[in-house]
Amino acid sequence: MPELPEVETIVRNLREGLHGPPVKGQRIERVSLYWPRHIHTPSPSTFRRRIKDRIVQEIGRRGKFIHIQLDRGNLIIHLRMSGDLSVIPKDTPRDPHDHTIFFLENSFQIRLNDVRKFGRVYLVDDAEKIFGKLGPEPLDPDFTPQSLKLSLHKRKRQIKPLLLDQTFLAGLGNIYTDEALHLAGIHPLRRSDTLDKDEVRALWKGIRNTLENGIIHNGASIDWVYRGGEFQYHFRVYQRTGEACESCGSTIERTVIGQRGTHFCPQCQPEASP
């Protein structure tokens, strides 16, 4: 699943025109829906009517959501398991997995490519209807070691599933959680309320450094999920089962926690009793 760095990279591409013209200021002439189930809110027919002639004003991100502010309403896209969003000349042949296509007035298109068809698209007046339950942004100045400690100690949960909970912290997924925990030296089964002050600060730094590094490398490209990133060449533990830890030389192990494959180094991340 595209996580915060992948989504942030896509947003910057749309906003700054790194791979095609910037989308800001463009009018959406119409939309083609080859997989109407992408449209969560409103109905596909209402979506087609309401999106017509809307003008893109701002492009941002909230957690793993792409937020496109229009002159009237908010276009919000969640890429889910296998989505990718790109700006492509309109005469480019359609990929079989280009399921939702926005036609822009400058002869380009915004195409939502989604192999597994799990992506969701929303058109709402109030963005908080979608974002309201999300946790804090891990790269915001307001996200501090102190605020993280308070939040961790209010819960009594295993740290890995807690970090994946989007109501606790927005944007982290399986890849960056494993990487952040390794960088912090914290076992994924540790209970959140057992972390001391130094461990919390290490986790805070691990989360931010991992996400920032992911953004620098334009995210990670794995299988068909999001194309164009290079962070996969810098993984510390994720998908490196049986390989040597670059920090200590021990063998990277894999387990399943909360139904998610989890990678860690038993030497760098010793399991402590709750």
Q: Say whether 94 is catalytic.
A: no
- Active-site choice (50, 191, 201, 260): 260
User: Residue 40: left if φ>0, alpha if ψ -120 to 50, beta else—which one?
Assistant: alpha
- Does residue 230 have an active-site annotation? no
Choice among 3, 8, 179, 199 that is catalytic: 3
The two beta strands, 120-124 and 108-114, are unpaired
d(CA 260, CA 88) in angstroms, rounded, equals 34
Question: Whole-angstrom Cα distance, residue 259 to residue 264?
Answer: 16
Is residue 2 part of the annotated active site? The answer reads yes
Q: Is the dihedral of CA 136, 16, 215, 102 positive or negative?
A: positive
- List the catalytic residue out of 61, 64, 120, 149: 64
Q: Is 3 a catalytic residue?
A: yes
Q: At what angle do helices 174-184 and 197-216 cross, to 10 degrees?
A: 130
- Among 188, 180, 159, residue whose Cα is nearest residue 235: 180
How far apart CA 30 and CA 101 sit, in angstroms, is 9
**d(Cα 246, Cα 251) in Å, to the nearest integer?**
10
Helices and strands of the chain, counted as H and E runs:
7, 11
Taking Cα atoms as reference points, which of 116, 35, 107, 100 lies closest to residue 68?
100
Q: Calculate ∠ Cα 135-136-137, nearest 5°.
A: 125
The residues annotated with a catalytic role in the active site are: 2-3, 64, 260
